[in-house]
Amino acid sequence: MIFTETALSGAFTLDLEDKPDDRGFFARTFCRDEFVAHGLKPDVAQCNVSVNHRAGTLRGMHYQLEPAAETKLVRCTYGGILDVIIDMRPDSPTYLEHVAVELTRENRRALYVPGMFAHGYQALTDDAEVSYQVGEFYTPGYERGLRHDDPALGIVWPLPVTVISDKDASWPLLEREAS
């Protein structure tokens, strides 16, 4: 695997090092030792899959507080998504900054999302399928979220939002500091 750190410390894209032969190719998508060598949490508590029927579908922006902060390894296995992460670590120099990464079946790229990062994505194609390994169990009492369209975040989504859950559309806007 090829690990490339994003502009947000601790968040990485992972590209495959494929080994082609007459049958196709083989590549490793996860290796505990390689994760540890890059300072990443290799624990997997659960694996999830989502199918998004319509392009424009938006899921997120979710995160969990400590002690239940989730790491995620996200990969699009069919179609394509724009995956967005936001640094929610209050002491981080990149607090509230975001990175967007296109994950597609064709590029086979994955995104490692550290704990205390909000995460969400928009389907770029109909029937986009996303699988992700999560390092902590879903813990509703620690769940938090941000609005995908919060002007304070400045996220530019490539498509109009066609489908979003009531919960995701209802997260509060970030509070503005008084001038």
Tell me which of 63, 119, 132, 148 is the catalytic residue.
132
Binned at pLDDT 50, 70 and 90, residue 178 comes out as very low
Residues 37-52: tens digit of each pLDDT = 999 999 999 999 999 9
Q: Is 132 a catalytic residue?
A: yes
At residue 176 the predicted structure's pLDDT band, cuts being 50, 70 and 90, is: low
pLDDT above 90 (res 25): no
Q: Which residues pair with 102 in a beta bridge?
A: 82
Catalytic: 148?
A: no
Whether residue 177 is predicted with pLDDT greater than 70 in this model: the reply is no
Q: Which one is catalytic: 53, 62, 98, 142?
A: 62
Taking the CA atoms of 46, 139, 62 and 87 in sequence, report the sign of the dihedral they define. negative
Residue 61, preceding peptide bond in cis (omega within 30° of 0): yes
Task: Please give the C-alpha separations between residue 45 and each of 41, 68, 91, 165, in angstroms, as whole numbers.
Answer: 11, 11, 26, 25
Domains of the chain: 45-168 (2.60.120.10)
